[in-house]
Structure 1
């Protein structure tokens, strides 16, 4: 009998079952987060420098905003002073402002406001949120609700409404957030959320009759990651009795189920969630965002730990083992775009056109992994 038990145990270990169930060591998780972030901060020490990809863009655009979301998350578990200084000095250089000023309706311009608000929470000074609040108030006080025509925008702008609603205590931010989210979900392109499949079309150009080469719907990994992250960040902020919390939870749960079903055997997700033949392969940014959301869901009791923890750990272990270079560079990050074919090939050594958001996604994921117990 003892020999049989040992044999079964050996098979489980060989098959990775037990290792997939074991939480990563917190010290090792923090170590890899520090390494990846230190690489980025060293390479981009001049936070004032604009990026140049076809044209110059200031360093407070969405790509850098996502990075600072990750950095501020890392700061919550490891509050190094240089992390705070790097974020504060960046925001202060931009005068806590937005590309396009306070009348911009472009969510890509709003994204930096998420970090501004987190910095305000650490040291409340009105100048830090004056501009982002003015911009969100402009959205609240105008009738348009159809600004988020592409699903990336949901992550760039939606959590700010939740942050301000909690910070200021005014329902108007929650109401406008729901109106804009609902428009993207149910109206734009006939509704960008496929409720039957639990996933999102990137924009109206990808709804049927558009199909992937294998004949299935086109669900882009990182695009769905943006929505999943937005829901995570919103649910983390809004009160339990917020009038639309139930709908956000329902969508989060539907996405979780759909994402779990299409995880690759190696732990990653393909850039095309339902067509591995269309530029299939490992991809770090979407995978990181799914880890972030699922880990948060388990930690907050929305997702069943026994069911989802193996998915999460398998994905995180794959990211750490396959993507992180010895010097902290993050491989397998798809560059900017809107569909599987963009910024290909995605490889271990390929450098994306913007490195910042991939690092931000990884930091968000790792911070939630660190918090699991």
Structure 2
């Protein structure tokens, strides 16, 4: 099994950095490290939980007021704390709460949500995935305590999109992670497969239509961030440009969605 794991990791790394000679040494380093670690066991659940708890406590200590706006001095800009930048943290917090039911985690998430009135930046009219990402946590909290007001706003926002024929909103790949799981969550809650269908339509448009021929490069197994980076765009070294974080968002979205979707769902 460890040898099989080594092979899979090596194949994944080679896929990600194929043709990228600059990273050849990185590929070798990762592969050799894994081979040398074959005899070692993965960290125990206890140790993994300890690290996650430590990291989360650092965040909660740094941000005791979850409602506090996010200010970035280098950009001289301030954002509300319910957009994607903070929403993705709460996804992780709820996952941590799923394995460690500390009341402080739940209360922190509820406090954040309540202070934002369980709403989205730009309200229910928004179609922007960056604004809808908070809905994933609102829904997770609703599943703990089914108070309708917890999901009224996010449902209204997604339902407005459902009533439209427009399916090209996710024109940058990060949006797949921010919004696609919300459709999936609502489809499960309301036992309504139309949410799954619309989710897939929007995902497929991003993958196969946005830009010239979609934002997914099947030959490389990677995604261009948006239409500004698909062909004919090239980096100065003549190579394609891929944003690693954006590709990570897509993978995270697919894992989350597949974990939520019913097993008999065609998509």
TM-score normalised per structure 1: 0.60
Aligned mates of 2:64, 2:33 — CA distance in 1: 44
- Pick aligned residue for 1:221 from 240, 244, 254: 244
CA deviations 1:192-214 (Å, max 9, x no partner) are 01112111000000011212333
The range that moved more, 207-216 or 120-129, is: 207-216
Q: Which runs of 4+ in 1 moved over 6 A?
A: none
Aligned mates of 1:15, 1:160 — CA distance in 2: 36
Q: Secondary structure at the match of 1:133?
A: helix
Alignment of 1:11-22 (within 5 A): 17-19=36-38, 22=41
Alignment of 1:1-373 (within 5 A): 17-19=36-38, 22-53=41-72, 54-190=76-212, 191-244=214-267
More relative contact order in 1 or in 2 (CA 8 Å, sep 6+)? 1
Aligned mates of 2:193, 2:34 — CA distance in 1: 51
Which residue number in structure 2 is paired with residue 249 of structure 1?
A: none
Aligned mates of 1:15, 1:126 — CA distance in 2: 48
Aligned mates of 1:133, 1:20 — CA distance in 2: 49
Which residue number in structure 2 is paired with residue 268 of structure 1?
A: none
Which residue number in structure 2 is paired with residue 257 of structure 1?
A: none
Q: Secondary structure at the match of 1:243?
A: coil
Deviation at 1:56, TM superposition (A): 2.1
Q: Secondary structure at the match of 2:187?
A: helix
**Pair 211,21 (structure 1): closer, same or farther in 2 beyond 3 Å:** farther
Which residue number in structure 1 is paired with residue 18 of structure 2?
A: none
Deviation at 1:15, TM superposition (A): 7.7
Provide the aligned C-alpha RMSD in A.
1.6
Structure 1 stretches lacking a partner, 5+ long: 1-12, 245-373
Aligned mates of 1:172, 1:97 — CA distance in 2: 23
CA deviations 1:17-50 (Å, max 9, x no partner) are 2357521122111111111110000000111110
Deviation at 1:141, TM superposition (A): 0.6
TM-score normalised per structure 2: 0.84
Aligned mates of 1:237, 1:59 — CA distance in 2: 26
* Residues paired across the two proteins, number: 232
Deviation at 1:77, TM superposition (A): 0.8
Q: Secondary structure at the match of 1:213?
A: coil
Aligned mates of 2:181, 2:33 — CA distance in 1: 42
Q: Secondary structure at the match of 1:204?
A: coil
Aligned mates of 1:192, 1:20 — CA distance in 2: 40
Structure 2 stretches lacking a partner, 5+ long: 1-31
